[in-house]
Chain A
Amino acid sequence: MTRYLSIRLLLTLITFWVIVTLVFFLLRLAPGGPFDGERRLPPEVEQNLRVAYNLDQPLPRQYLNYLSMLGHGDLGPSFKQKDFSVAELVISGLPVSLAVGVMALLIALTGGIALGTWAGLNTGTKTDLLIMGTANIGLAVPAIVVAPLLALVFAVWLGWLPAGGIGGPQYFLLPAAALSLPFVAAIARLTRGSVAETLQEPHITTAMAKGLPRRRIIRYHVLPIALLPVLSYIGPAAAALLTGSVVVEQIFELPGIGRYFVQAALNRDYTLVMGVVIVYAAFILLFNLLVDVCYARLDPRIRLRS
């Protein structure tokens, strides 16, 4: 197990380095630089800026500088957000992105499991058709469409929830809902199939024959088995939700790191893009690692093979 873990850890670190390197060079390949704009910059001024941000050095040198900085746990200064360091920005934005992600995950799990179970217990009925039809739409319609609709209905028309910004927990509800919809749909589909399948099992027939109450059968005999596929889906879903809030953060003006990502990319704010990519990569790699470790614990064949 230790051997397996250390190999996985090493592979994760290599992947991380490849990502950092790729993004570093891709960013610099993109046309335009951090100091381009509509306004005129005299050559002296542009040179002053380049020196201030070490951009006057050759590219390989810049790359090594960055790696060494990263090795010391320093994400560097932001090129554009001049009053904050990248680390300060990430520390201020990450909790917001995490809060939206966790809330969306909770909505996806509760909503998806409830709807999926309901549909699975009623396969072939109109209820099933309605739920699964809606779920298909939920899967197909992206957050960029759902989010403005939610804002229009619940904030502008009904005035129940804020249209954007940050404050108490109510500010997270609409973004989390918009973010979770495709995941509610996916989990509902998984649960439905799995519940319908479990109902065919002989031990359920036995339980029915024994005359157990229906709620008891669902709670203790159907769901624990039916939810196994959902559990294995949580890993990738959590990574996707925690890093996937870029669009909803834009639409609801939430101060999470997803917003920095888009703006920094458009501004060619090299260090800030790198910082956000590093955080995202760390999350995705971490969740993958956790899933691998869990599988290895559950399935001896995996750890023996390595």
Chain B
Amino acid sequence: MAVSSKRIDFNRTPLRRRVIASAIVIFWVCASAASVAQPDTVLRLGNPGEPQTLDPHRYNLRLEETLLTDLFMGLTTFAADGSTIPGVASSWQVSDDGLRWTFKLRPDLIWSDGQPLTADDFVFAYRRLQAPATAASLAYFMYPLKNAAAVNAGKMPGAALGVSAPDPRTLILELEQPYPHLLETLLYPTAYPLPRHAIEAHGDNWVKAENWVSNGAYRLQEWRPQAYVQLTANPHYDPAPAITEVFYYPLANEQTAYNRYRAGEVDAIATFPSGELAYAKRELSTDLRSSVQLSIMYLVFNTRVEPFSDPRVREALAMMMQPEVLTDKVQRSGNLASRSFVPAMVSDYEPVPGPQYQLSLPERLSRGKMLLAEAGYSASRPLEITLRYISGGETKRTALAIAAFWKPLGVKTQLHQAELKVHFADLRQGDFQVAQAGWIGENNAEHYLSLLISDTGDVNYGGFADNQFDALMAAARQEADLAERNRLLRLADERAVGLYPVVPMYSLGVRRLVNPKLRGWQNTPRDVHPVRFLSLEP
């Protein structure tokens, strides 16, 4: 006879109560451990990913720049509002031809280990940056220096580089061509001084925390891979910063960053899911800091191949672009619509909007249809194209909206997605018809326009080539006077927009959440927030 299992009443055993009781104890212990109070000189920041290096010559990412800005200081540096101010240089002079810059260093400069910092440390650093063995992927940031490209290619010795130190407090930079944006270039890690004594003593291991030497407000305390980078105040930095300790957490996952911010585990995060923007605007309005980054997202046509070798086809498609619809209706994530290729935030420059926007939308539609008909397309022979976009929710919605813009023209658009690496690898090889592309750049128009110069190389993704545009850009680059330079750049800009090699769409919005107790935080166009300007209210 089988025994019915129902007769054994497991439910009455006290075991269950013990389990519940111990679970409660575990939770209580965890809950109390999780809420240990932090002193208010410790700042916990979210960085959008894990740094790949803290060597200023090997870095490649914005999130590394964030850390390096706290660790080092160049000849110039960022002010709290993001503008350029003198760093370790106290003054400088430029020769009349704009080719020779003489910098005077501040007296009594010292490294975080107490060693003196001299102009020699700059000479050492600039030669190391260009040495082929360093394999610095951003060495070209300093190509304005005389012979820099040749030294980097191994065609000239490091001593030929246009940098010299006649005395410990004087640094002379000689340039290849006049470059009025030099002070801005000197803000970046590629222009920092490096501790020659530490690098010569430890080789590639100088970046380890135990060997670390830097000259900024902070020095490296500990780097636990994928967990945090901990910085502590540099005892030799004057004035001493209010925040004595900073933890940078690599928060690559936007949702986790958002959760950790809301759980009070971090004081500021670099971004959060765009879908939470409406909630954040409502419930976290004192924490939300939205701004727009110096950047341009655009569509690029492959002008080497049919059908986009025909300017009429490019113009017809550009006619239908509606940047405001993309940012305000489709994305709604804080991006700023742009009608010009040079972002509106670039200072001292009036951007040139695409000529199509002088027409109303119905006029643009009929002009677009006319252009396509002239180019030989009709209802029986429609234009069929493939639009490439980078994998992602927002980029996909954007691509769908663009396909919808083009539909009234009778254009049939196929969408093709690829992850970021593959997308840009294809673009660099010219393996596309029309694609989403982007450039996050510096505060000068030349930076963006040079993407369209015919000999720029593979980041001129579409292979755009126009002699008149090239000539105007070359003339601008020879000009030492900033106003005249910008006037020539604007002529080049006007020439380019009329040929529609690209269709500008928007500048990237920044959605940050910042603890309202954090003082000194300012929205800046380059989205830099040096920690030495910040403090925490108790």
Q: Determine the distance from Cα of A181 to Cα of B153 in the docked complex, in whole angstroms.
A: 56
A80 touches B52 (CB 8 A): yes
**Interface check B93, CB cutoff 8 A:** no
Partner of A45, one of B52, B137, B250: B137
Would you call A255 an interface residue if the criterion is a C-beta within 8 Å of the partner chain's C-beta atoms?
Answer: yes
In the docked arrangement, what's the CA distance between A159 and B135, Å? Answer: 47
Contact B225–A84 (Cβ < 8 Å) = yes
A211 at the interface (CB under 8 A from B): no
Question: B55, A83: Cβ atoms under 8 Å?
Answer: yes
CA–CA, A10 and B264, complex, Å = 53
- Kindly state the separation between the CA atoms of A83 and B225 in the bound complex, as whole angstroms: 10
What sequence of 0s and 1s flags, for each residue 212-249 of chain B, a beta carbon within 8 Å of any chain A beta carbon? 00000000000111111000000000000000000001
Which of A46-54, A134-142, A281-289 sits within the interface? A46-54
B50 at the interface (CB under 8 A from A): yes
| Shortest distance between the CB of A195 and any CB in chain B (Å) | 8
- Mark interface residues in A32-54 (1 if CB within 8 Å of B CB, else 0): 11011111111111001101100
Is the CB–CB distance between A125 and B6 below 8 Å?
yes
Q: Cα distance A49–B58 when bound, in Å?
A: 10
Q: Is the CB of B256 within 8 A of A163?
A: yes
Known: A45-B137, A51-B135. A122 touches B149 (CB 8 A): no
A252 touching B424, Cβ below 8 Å: no
Write the B303-327 contact mask toward A (1 if CB under 8 angstroms, else 0).
Answer: 0000000000000000000000000
- A168 nearest CB neighbor, chain B only: B33
When the two chains form the complex, which single residue of B54, B135, B140, B223 contacts A52, counting CB atoms closer than 8 Å? B135
Q: How far is the CB of B192 from chain A (nearest CB, A)?
A: 16
**In-complex Cβ contact of A163 among B7, B54, B137, B260 (8 A):** B260
The reply to whether the CB of A240 lies closer than 8 angstroms to some CB of chain B is no
Tell me the complex Cα distance, A160–B29, Å.
Answer: 9
Determine, out of B8-16, B469-477, B513-521, the stretch whose residues face the partner at the interface.
B8-16
Report Cα–Cα, A43/B2, bound state, in Å: 81
Interface string of A75-109 (1 = CB under 8 A from B): 00000111110001100110000000000000000
Q: Please give the number of chain B residues whose Cβ is less than 8 angstroms from any Cβ of chain A in the complex.
A: 76
Contact B424 A215 (CB under 8 A): no
Contacts of A169 in B (CB 8 A): 30
Whether B525 is near chain A, meaning CB under 8 Å from some CB there, is: no
> Which of A41, A81, A165 has the most chain B CB atoms closer than 10 A to its own CB?
A165
A200, CB-defined interface residue at 8 Å: yes
Given contacts A37-B424, A205-B3, A255-B224, contact A164 B265 (CB under 8 A): yes
- Restricting to A255-291, which residues have a CB under 8 Å from any CB of B? 255-256, 259-260, 263, 266-268
Q: Decide if A293 is an interface residue (CB 8 Å cutoff).
A: no
Asked if B19 lies at the interface with its beta carbon under 8 angstroms from chain A, I say yes
A259 to B50, CA, bound (A): 10
Contact partners of B50 in chain A: CB under 8 A: 81, 263
A-side contacts of B8, CB under 8 Å: 121, 199, 214, 217-218
Q: Is B373 an interface residue (CB 8 A)?
A: no
How far in angstroms is the closest Cβ of chain B from A199? Answer: 5
Which residue from A35, A42, A83, A252 sits with its C-beta under 8 Å from B207? A83
Once A122-B5, A151-B259, A215-B13 are accepted as A-B contacts, the answer to whether A83 and B140 lie under 8 Å apart by CB is no
Task: Check A31/B422 contact, CB under 8 A, given A155-B259, A160-B27, A260-B226.
Answer: yes
CA separation between A43 and B35, bound complex, in Å? 52
| Most A-side CB within 10 Å, residue of B54, B224, B226, B259 | B226
Q: How far is the CB of B141 from chain A (nearest CB, A)?
A: 10
| Given A32-B425, A117-B10, A120-B5; A160-B34 close (CB under 8 Å) | yes
Q: Does B139 contact A (CB under 8 A)?
A: yes
Q: Which of A32, A35, A170 contacts B137 (CB 8 A)?
A: A35
Q: Does B439 sit within 8 A of A, measured CB to CB?
A: yes
A118–B12 Cα distance when bound, in Å, is 11
Please indicate the chain B residues that have their CB under 8 angstroms from the CB of A173 in the complex. Answer: 26, 30
A residues within 8 A CB of B420?
38, 266
Check if A163 sits within 8 Å of B265, measured CB to CB: yes
* Known contacts A45-B135, A151-B259, A156-B259, A93 near B53 by CB under 8 Å: no
Please encode chain B, from 406 to 431, with 1 for each CB lying within 8 Å of some chain A CB and 0 for all others. 00000000000001111011101000
Kindly identify which residue among A31, A51, A164, A254 contacts B426, using a CB–CB cutoff of 8 Å.
A31
Q: Contact: A196 with B5, CB < 8 Å?
A: yes
Encode A110-144 as 1/0 by CB contact (under 8 A) with B.
00001001101111110100000000000000000
Q: How far is the CB of A142 from chain B (nearest CB, A)?
A: 16
Q: Which residues of B approach A to under 8 Å, CB–CB?
A: 1-3, 5-11, 13, 19, 26-27, 29-31, 33-35, 50, 52-55, 58, 60, 132-140, 149, 152-154, 207-208, 223-228, 249-253, 255-256, 259-260, 262-265, 419-422, 424-426, 428, 438-440, 456-459
11 examples of A-B residue contacts, CB within 8 angstroms: A39-B459, A44-B152, A52-B133, A80-B52, A82-B52, A92-B225, A124-B6, A163-B262, A208-B3, A217-B8, A255-B227
Closest 9 CB pairs of A and B: A255-B226, A170-B30, A44-B153, A82-B53, A32-B425, A163-B259, A32-B421, A255-B227, A52-B135
